Structures are given as C-alpha cells and as structure tokens.
C-alpha cells in the first residue's frame, strides 16, 4: 500500500475490484479502449494529446466567462474561483469537469469525492502541462427527480434509516427551479444533527447552515452556498445545467443537436451493439423514437420522442407535439424551454467547455462507453473519461475494532464483517450447538418410537403425532435461540465492534460513500475536514483510497 499523510489524516492505496465488469476492465487496462473511448487514460501522453486536440477547437469562452462570473458571484465565491473564471478567457486554458445532482446537505459522500477528484486532477495537470487548468463542477440542476436529492441516511439508535426532507413536490420541475421550504428544511436539518451527536463543532456548523439556508431560494442555491464554503479557496468553478442564462449560450448547440437527433440516436444504438457483442451490459435504455431531449410544458419537464416519418417531436405521453422547425425555433428564441438528458448532456458539456478530462463515477464510465459514436456524429472526440477517486474514510476507533476482530481493512471493506461475526458466534456456541444437535436427534428417536406405538393403536392419529413432533422440535429450537441471544448479550462489547464496523464501512451492505454524508465527519472533526482531504497526496491509479482519520 502506498501511503501519504496530512495533518491528522493518512491515505493508503488498496486494490479493490469494481463490481461493474466494464469499469473493472477499464481501470485495469483489460479493455479494447478505442472501441469505446477516444483516449487511453493509461497512456502517459494522454493529456498532452488531448490538450492539442481541444485547443484546436473554438468555444464560447467570453460568454461563458460572463455567465460564470454572474452565477458564482451570487454565492460569495472565493477570489480564487473568480480568478479561475477569468482564466477561461485565455485561449490556451482548459477545464477538468465533472458533475452531480444538488443533493440536500451535498448528498452522499461520493459528491464530495468527485469534487476533490476534479480539483486534484486540475492541479496536477496545470503543473504538468504548464497551461491554466480550471476545475469545473457541473450541477445537474436540469434533473427533475426531486426524490433523488431530498434525503440523507442517518444512524438513529443503531438503526440506519432514510431521513427524508418532507417537502412535497408533485410537478416534474427542474431541481434548479424548486423553491426550498426553509422552515421544513431547518427542522429537518436539526433532526439530522441530533443523530450525529453534539460536539464542539455542532453549533457553529448549524448556525452556518441556517445562514446559508436563509440566503437560498432553491435547493441549487443551498447546495452552492455549502460547496462554496467547503471548497471556495480551491478555486472550484460551479455551473448549473438548469440555468436559463446558460441555455442562452447553448442555443446554437441545441439547434445542432436537434438537427442531428436521428444520427445521435442511431449512433448510440450501434455503440450499444458493440458493447453487447463484447459481453458488456448497456446502461442506457432507448426506444426507437427516443429524442434524448426534454421540453418544458407548464411546470413539467416532458421527455420528447421523435417520429421521422412525420418529422415531429412529441411528448412521451402526448403532452405536446412540435415539428422539427418549431423545436428549432424554440431552441433559437426560447432555449430555456429545452433541456438535455443523459445522452445529450455530455455532448453539450463538450460543446461548451474546452475539456481536458471528464471526471466520472462508475456508472458514468459505463454509459459514456455507449456515447463514443454520438460524439463522432457531433464532430467531436469524447474527452478522456477519468474515474473519480473512490474513497473510504476509516476512523481510528473503527480501525481498532477491525484489528480486534482479526480482519484486514480489505476484508472489512469487502463486506466480510458479518461472516466474521457469524463465525465468531459459531465458535463461542459450538459446545452448546453440539448438545442441541444431539438433543434434537434423541428427541426425534424417542418421539418416533412413541409415534409408531400410537399408530398401531390408531392410524388416524398420524397428523396429530407429526404436529406434536414438530412442536417438540420447535421448543428445542426456542431454547437454542434463547441461549444464542444470551451469548450475544454476555459478549455485547465484542458484538458492538462488528456492528460499528459494518455501520461505518458497509452501511446497508453498500459502500460507505453511497450512504453517509460529509456533515457527520464535519460535525466530528471540524469544517476544515474537506480542506485536509483535498491536500492529501492522491494519485489517479485506479486504486481505492483508504483515508484514516
């Protein structure tokens, strides 16, 4: 394991195979890269080659700079962020970009991990390429699935539960336009922190969050306020895909996507066939009429389908009907009424920004592998798709528990804690288990003799006798269960170690980063926790990062 350290943190690399076959093959360089991607991230020259390719194109730099200044200044962005935005005017500048939904209180840990990944790769490549490399975080504000961002998981009395912010949202509005119910959010926020427990940091953090909440109108605002506080001095630049002002800059690109809509559709289908012929699964579901664009009808974001035989775009449930010319006219005059989906958003991102690299989650690696030919249709190359840093935070007390139960960190993260717990219980109840096995067999032998004798007298007693035998075994099993519970109670301290490890590292059987939220750690270790994470010596080597705190 390679190690690095900053302040009270230590990072170690650990090889941890992905459960996704394509991602695993991509990380370990076992895939025929150029069948699915335009760049080989394992090549030492990949960023030098990409730099030359991307700087040969033109981008709406000045319009982007003005928009990003207006947008980021709304959230009291750090001077380093403003400097980075101005750098985008430099025709030799590039960006490292990645995105996520605007989860309440930033959502699961993987959002934080992705932001750190963007910042770290941008810093590394700026030093190596000797050109401005700007970290850009793309907020998926155009998404409309409020249920994906309105909750956190908390450990409430040793029970993991989903803590939903109880604001009702019935329309399919973009998240960027959903106004936040401040009273509901304040109450919910305080309840979340009650589960974290009070520390020296709690009051400061809650007061800061309440101040940020007061400044916010929408969930994207609240998300932006928090990220600006946690990462402002890193120079991270934020962009909201749901911004109407951004859509004005996208106008010409939307026209091009509409005009090439059928070509994009067919390119994705063909790329999926290539994937499936290599025994990889497709991630994107499309039907023969998928248009991969949304259109705003009232407060709802409606998914469009395209019917080439009539040259019309229609809402999936007939909410609207537009001919191609009408949709193109809307793209020119009211671009805010049109938004992208999982297929067209990456294309739009590439059209807008001079992208050196795209920081992806595991799922994004899979679906971007289905988009290579769609980029070709748009006359572009897909940027290097760089898997984000995968991390697990291990507190010292949890590490101590892992040592006590005799597991390695690798075993603990790989979900072997419960099997170790069961083995421990079996070991400490083995003598009684032997007694119970023998008792059950002897009881069955005795009862069998009784049954046989009774049946000689009256064969109609069979069902009753079998039920009686079953009840007898049930009573013995009750004794067995009771004794097992007593063993657990007598060894409660040891049992708690298994539970603490499981709750911390594999909550609900999932990776830590998919369940827990950064504010648990900020509450315990202070607001500089994320700043210290950013300063750790991470390498983009495909290995899992163990962060000891």
CB-based contact 498:421 (threshold 8 Å): yes
Q: What is the DSSP-derived secondary structure letter of residue 319?
A: S
Rounded to whole angstroms, how far apart are CA atoms 345 and 87? 24
CB-based contact 346:360 (threshold 8 Å): no
Beta-strand relationship, 133-139 and 3-6: unpaired
- pLDDT tens digits for 193-228? 999 999 999 999 999 999 999 999 999 999 999 999
Sheet with 312-315, edge to edge strand ranges: 321-323, 312-315, 300-307, 290-297, 338-340
Q: Hey, what are 165's tokens? A: 């912010």
Beta-strand relationship, 160-164 and 321-323: unpaired
CA distances from 439 to 431, 473, 475, 480 (A): 12, 10, 12, 11
CB-based contact 50:56 (threshold 8 Å): no
CB-based contact 283:365 (threshold 8 Å): no
Beta-strand relationship, 94-100 and 355-360: parallel
State residue 286 phi and psi, 5-degree precision. -130, 150
Q: Hey, what are 344's tokens? A: 């067209």
Rounded to whole angstroms, how far apart are CA atoms 356 and 124? 12
Rounded to whole angstroms, how far apart are CA atoms 502 and 155? 12
Residue ranges of the chain whose pLDDT lies below 50? 1-2
Strand partners, 307: 312
Angle (deg, nearest 10), helices 430-457 and 417-428: 70
Q: Is the dihedral of CA 160, 164, 170, 173 positive or negative?
A: negative
Q: Check residue 1 and give its pLDDT.
A: 42
Beta-strand relationship, 312-315 and 290-297: unpaired
Q: Check residue 125 and give its pLDDT.
A: 98
Beta-strand relationship, 300-307 and 544-548: unpaired
Q: Hey, what are 193's tokens? A: 């922190």
Rounded to whole angstroms, how far apart are CA atoms 520 and 532? 16
Where in the chain are the domains?
Answer: 285-341, 416-505
Residue 177 CA to its chain's centroid (Å): 22
Rounded to whole angstroms, how far apart are CA atoms 12 and 14? 7
CB-based contact 549:395 (threshold 8 Å): yes
Q: Check residue 490 and give its pLDDT.
A: 64
Strand partners, 133: 94
Taking phi over 0 as left and psi of -120 to 50 as alpha, with beta for the rest, 152 belongs to beta
Residue 278 CA to its chain's centroid (Å): 26
Q: Is the dihedral of CA 516, 519, 525, 527 positive or negative?
A: positive
Q: What is the DSSP-derived secondary structure letter of residue 260?
A: T
Burial-class residue 286 by CB neighbours within 10 Å (0-12, 13-18, 19+): middle
CA angle 297, 250, 77 (to 5 degrees): 100
Residue 225 CA to its chain's centroid (Å): 20
Rounded to whole angstroms, how far apart are CA atoms 429 and 172? 55
Rounded to whole angstroms, how far apart are CA atoms 324 and 218? 33
């Amino acid at each position: 394991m390679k190690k690095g350290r900053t302040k009270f943190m230590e990072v170690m690399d650990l090889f941890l195979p992905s459960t996704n076959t394509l991602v695993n093959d991509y990380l370990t360089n076992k895939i025929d890269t150029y069948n699915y991607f335009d760049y080989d991230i394992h090549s030492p020259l990949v960023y030098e080659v990409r730099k030359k390719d991307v700087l040969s194109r033109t981008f709406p730099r000045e319009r982007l700079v003005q928009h990003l200044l207006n947008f980021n200044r709304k959230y009291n962005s750090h001077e380093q962020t403003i400097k980075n935005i101005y750098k985008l005017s430099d025709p030799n500048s590039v960006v490292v970009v990645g995105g996520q939904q605007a989860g309440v209180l930033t959502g699961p840990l993987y959002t934080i991990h992705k932001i750190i990944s963007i910042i770290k790769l941008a810093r590394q490549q700026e030093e190596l390429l000797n050109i401005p490399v700007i970290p850009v975080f793309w907020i998926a504000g155009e998404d409309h699935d409020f249920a994906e961002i309105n909750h956190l998981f908390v450990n409430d009395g040793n029970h993991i539960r989903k803590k939903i912010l109880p604001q009702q949202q019935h329309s399919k509005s973009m998240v960027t336009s959903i106004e936040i119910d401040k009273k509901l959010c304040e109450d919910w926020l305080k309840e979340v922190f009650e589960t974290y427990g009070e520390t020296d940091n709690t009051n400061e953090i809650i007061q800061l969050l309440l101040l940020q909440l007061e400044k916010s109108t929408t969930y994207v605002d609240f998300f932006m306020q928090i990220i600006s506080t946690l990462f402002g001095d890193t120079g991270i630049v934020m962009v909201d895909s749901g911004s109407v002002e951004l859509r004005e800059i996208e106008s010409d690109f939307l026209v091009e996507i509409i005009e090439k809509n059928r070509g994009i559709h067919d390119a994705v289908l063909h790329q999926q066939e290539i994937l499936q012929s290599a025994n990889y699964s497709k991630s994107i579901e499309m039907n023969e009429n998928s248009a991969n664009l949304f259109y705003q009808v009232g407060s709802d974001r409606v998914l469009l389908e395209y019917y080439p035989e009539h040259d019309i775009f229609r809402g999936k449930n007939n909410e609207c009907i537009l001919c191609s010319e009408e949709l193109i006219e809307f793209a020119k005059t009211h671009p805010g009424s049109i938004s992208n989906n999982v297929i067209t958003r990456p294309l739009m991102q590439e059209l807008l920004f001079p992208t050196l690299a795209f920081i992806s989650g595991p799922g994004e690696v899979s679906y971007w592998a289905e988009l290579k030919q769609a980029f070709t249709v748009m006359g572009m190359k897909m940027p290097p798709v760089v898997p984000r840093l995968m991390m697990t935070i291990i507190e010292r007390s949890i590490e101590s528990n892992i040592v006590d139960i005799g597991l390695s960190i690798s075993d603990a993260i790989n979900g072997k804690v419960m099997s170790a717990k069961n083995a421990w219980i079996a070991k400490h109840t083995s003598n009684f288990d032997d007694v119970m096995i023998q008792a059950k067999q002897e009881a069955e032998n005795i009862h069998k003799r009784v049954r046989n004798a009774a049946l000689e007298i009256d064969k109609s007693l069979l069902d009753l006798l079998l039920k009686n035998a079953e009840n007898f075994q049930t009573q013995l099993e009750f004794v067995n269960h009771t004794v097992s519970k007593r063993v657990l109670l007598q060894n409660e301290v040891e049992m708690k170690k298994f539970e603490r490890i499981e709750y911390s590292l594999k909550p609900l059987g999932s990776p830590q980063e998919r369940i827990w939220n950064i504010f648990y750690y900020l509450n315990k270790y202070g607001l500089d926790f994320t700043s210290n994470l950013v300063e750790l010596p991470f390498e983009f080597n495909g290995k899992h990062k163990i962060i000891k705190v």
